[in-house]
Structure 1
Amino acid sequence: MNTPGLILRLASHRQVTPAAFIHKHIQVISQLSSKYEKDDAKEKWLKEQGDGGSVSYARNGSNNDLGLVTFHHKQKLNAFTGAMMHDFSVAVREAVKDEKTRCVVVRGENGNFCSGGELNFVERIASEEGSFVMNTVMMTALKKLANSEKVSIAVLEGSTMGGASEIASACDIRVAHRKSKVGFVQGKMGVCPGWGGGRYLLKTLGTARAMEYLATAALVRAEELYKIGYVTHLFDSEAELTEYLKRFSRLESKNAFVAAKRMVANYSGKTRNPKEKEEEERRIFMSVWGHADHKKSIQAIRDNLTRAKKEKKDKK
């Protein structure tokens, strides 16, 4: 990423010098870091935003050796709210600490992974404070998931949109229903990856493909993602998925299982997440979240929803 060039363009758009732009965001981040010094303070703030939905953790699998993190918000296609971000952070901590499991499976209820951020919640936290808290909590959770000794598997069904593509990319393995789609659509909202998943998109897709998908806000079919290796397995039914997941219970030695994850993580660089890159990713995200383009996109979605409801009502 050409970060100096991006900062120059963003600074110009906001009619400030690049130096002033960087200085302002460093100051804001410093102030918010002091205000939310403890992780639980940030999680508490998100939980207070409410908007329904939840995320659960439980053991699953034939030998009860799979940890299952599930998104519950089916009326909104499992769109994430503040309460769900709080729950997700807690669920990931539970999952990576559970000594009786070797894998963490991440999926959504009712045949849908996650449609990104819930609109009311996104609109309410469209501010520097909101972007800082959300980015920090989600970034920390995804880092714990990615760096865990457990193998993480994202089960992609229905729609996987925006920030949900970052959750999927942070997992070690992605399996998908043949008819599902993944939308790297943050650009349509006038923002960039903000759940801490920018680095994982780069690692899983490669520089050129990540740039192409993000720059075009691509909505990509699972079969295409399977061809390029982003998705490693396609399934057509729950029975097929269950059979696939059984593979991860066949290796008797848990130590060998953990060693395999450590070796792959070491050579892929997943264990190396420089703090500077985190801070840079956070600065860039905070510069676009809550900006005029972001709020304009939210309003456009609301207008489309209102129009669709009216058209549906008129047809009756």
Structure 2
Amino acid sequence: MVGNVKKIERPNGIVELRLNRPMKYNAINYNMMDDLKRHLTELKGSVTLNALIITGEGEKAFCSGGDVELFHKLTTKEEAYAMLSKMGGILYELMLFPVPTIALINGTTLGGGCEIATACDVRIAKQGSSIGFIQGNLGLTTGWGGASMLLEKIAYHDAMAILLSSKKYNTDEAVELGFIDKVIPFNADFHEKGYEEIEKMLVNKGNVLKAYKQVSIRKWKSSDLYSRMMLEIEQCADLWTQDEHIKAVEAFLNRR
């Protein structure tokens, strides 16, 4: 039985993990967290793996973030922190994954979906995708360590512009801000086209790819990225039970 994350073996030592809740715009729930963690743990020890792709099932969404309806049931700071820190820990593992990671953004990428994409080394998007750290519109900050990771990946002023505005951006704007590395024109078979582009950008020498990734991993470990992410997550948990967040989520759910 296919779970909430599909594993697809590609040629040349590349594996694709596909978030698999297309009817929910690939929103993250607890089962998807568990599946993602299990796959990352299993793949981390592979000697033949050269690169990892994270993408979404279907044509509409990479990931719309956390499942708002499900997580709205978390009513205390402790409950919120347990969920947020669980996913934050998974994204820290993705940040420090031993081979290059590529977010293949196949559509809507919002909130926590942007945090997942940020944890990857490279971000390739389908033309027309909507991208945004929109958590502020729900009275929250990034909840899975996304701000700490974003500040490691792009220029400070661009990262802060993205975070402080809580705006949605189109792919051209996201390229200008440094968040998206490459845009692929709309293609009926986007996942296949995306894989072809990824294959072109990677040298066919697994040891070289892993060695370069270790340079970044050493930096992030020495700067105690994990602790910074967890402090950020605690700040989000503090905001979780405040009226501003509760009312914003209720308005969002009622509008839907």
Q: Is the pair's TM-score, using the shorter chain for normalization, greater than 0.5?
A: yes
Deviation string for 1:52-92 (max 9, x for gaps)?
x94325242223x1121111111111111122222222222
The residue that corresponds to 1:137 in the other structure is 86
Kindly report which structure 2 residues correspond to 1:1-316, keeping only aligned pairs within 5 A, or say none: 54-63=3-12, 65-111=13-59, 112-236=61-185, 237=187, 238=190, 239-247=192-200, 250-251=203-204, 253-266=205-218, 269-274=219-224, 276-305=227-256
Q: Aligned pair count?
A: 249
Shift of 1:115: 0.7
Q: Which has the larger radius of gyration?
A: 1
Shift of 1:135: 2.0
Shift of 1:235: 0.9
Distance 2:201 2:6 in 1: 18
Identity percentage of aligned residues: 24
Spell out structure 1 runs of 4+ moving beyond 6 A: none
Distance 2:234 2:255 in 1: 31
Q: Select the structure with the greater relative contact order (CA < 8 A; seq sep ≥ 6).
A: 2
In the alignment, structure 2 segments of 5+ residues that lack a partner are none
Task: Give the structure with the higher percent helix.
Answer: 1
Shift of 1:270: 2.6
Task: Single out whichever of 296-305 and 226-235 deviates more from structure 2.
Answer: 226-235
Task: Single out whichever of 163-172 and 216-225 deviates more from structure 2.
Answer: 216-225
Deviation string for 1:129-169 (max 9, x for gaps)?
22221222112111111112210000112110101111101
- The SS at the match of 2:72 is helix
Q: Is the 8 A contact 2:148 2:229 kept in 1?
A: no
Q: Is the 8 A contact 1:55 1:91 kept in 2?
A: no
Shift of 1:186: 0.4
In the alignment, structure 1 segments of 5+ residues that lack a partner are 1-52, 306-316
- TM-score normalised by L of structure 1: 0.73
The residue that corresponds to 1:21 in the other structure is none
The 3 A distance-change label for structure 1 pair 136 and 87 is same
Distance 1:283 1:264 in 2: 25
